[in-house]
Amino acid sequence: MPLEIIRIPVLSDNYVWLVHEPDSGETMVVDPAVAPPVLAEADLRGWEITQIWNTHWHPDHTGGNAEIKAATGCTITGPQAEAARIPTLDVQVSGGDVVRLGAVEARVIDVPAHTAGHIAYHFAAEHAAFVGDTLFAMGCGRLFEGTAEQMYGNMRKLEALGEDTAIYCAHEYTLSNGRFALMVEPDNLALIKRVNEVTAMRERGEATVPTTIALERATNPFMRASSVEELAARRAAKDAA
């Protein structure tokens, strides 16, 4: 059976992902900013949380780790390069490693730039990737601890996952990202159509993620950047907007 993936909105614009593997009964949490809504959602569904997977160390991605672990006894997996900044980690992983939820495998991908040791998790058989703050719908993460060259490389790595790959990012930034993207590519018809759709969705109070690689290739100014220099210029302009 396929994975069941539930979006949990928390804080002002974060999404925590609850991922259930029906055959084994295992349930995993991606980047729990806080614990209570996550524990409540799992309890509502009768799911037992057995794992947490972190993509990077920022508190709005790890803040619920300790409380969820105390409540469930789950195992916490995260980036080896950031283990010193995530004291709750039980398992340290880096690019090329394989992690499992029940019998379903995910490959770890190194995607540094937003933070120095940021990772993503790719379920190839499920056509799904959890990317934290590296790739957003029509955007990318700020370069807090890395370089435009790294982020450009990340775009290529994620692009290579295939157009039908669903991208589960950690924030509802889509509308503001789309407005900036229109400044970069005002004549991009796919982008114009998408921003109109996103605007209507937000007016209805609907979430706009997950996205897909196909959508990002058509409308994301950072994935569409033709060079490191162009990505760097776009990121600087977005930061200043």
The CATH number of whichever domain residue 97 belongs to comes to: 3.60.15.10
**Dihedral sign from CA coordinates of 108, 110, 116, 118:** negative
Establish whether 97 is a catalytic residue.
no
Establish whether 20 is a catalytic residue.
no
The domain tally of the chain equals 1
**Catalytic one among 20, 31, 58, 122?**
58
Establish whether 60 is a catalytic residue.
yes
What is residue 218's predicted lDDT score, i.e. its pLDDT?
A: 98
Amino acid residing at 118: H
pLDDT tens, residue by residue, 125-144: 999 999 999 999 999 999 99
Establish whether 58 is a catalytic residue.
yes
**Catalytic one among 20, 31, 110, 114?**
114
Establish whether 56 is a catalytic residue.
yes
User: Vertex 206, ends 8 and 140: CA angle to 5°?
Assistant: 70
> In 3-state terms, what secondary structure has residue 43?
helix
3-state secondary structure 168-203: EECECCHHHHHHHHHHHCCCCHHHHHHHHHHHHHHH
Query: Which residues in the chain show pLDDT less than 50?
Result: none
CA distance 240 to 222: 15
**Catalytic one among 20, 31, 60, 110?**
60
Give the tokens for residue 27.
Answer: 């349930």
What is residue 241's predicted lDDT score, i.e. its pLDDT?
A: 85
Domain range for 66: 4-240
Establish whether 118 is a catalytic residue.
no
- Beta strand 75-79 with 135-136 is unpaired
What is residue 84's predicted lDDT score, i.e. its pLDDT?
A: 98
**Catalytic one among 20, 31, 61, 118?**
61
What is residue 42's predicted lDDT score, i.e. its pLDDT?
A: 98
> In 3-state terms, what secondary structure has residue 92?
strand
Cα dist. 21→28, 39, 65, 105, 136 in Å? 8, 17, 20, 11, 25
Contacts of 103 (CB under 8 A, 6+ apart): 21, 23, 24
What is residue 239's predicted lDDT score, i.e. its pLDDT?
A: 96
CA distance 54 to 69: 13
Establish whether 133 is a catalytic residue.
yes
**Catalytic one among 20, 118, 122, 171?**
171
**Catalytic one among 110, 118, 122, 133?**
133
What is residue 164's predicted lDDT score, i.e. its pLDDT?
A: 97
The alpha carbon of residue 107 and the mean position of all alpha carbons in its chain are separated, in whole angstroms, by 14
What does pTM read for this prediction?
A: 0.97
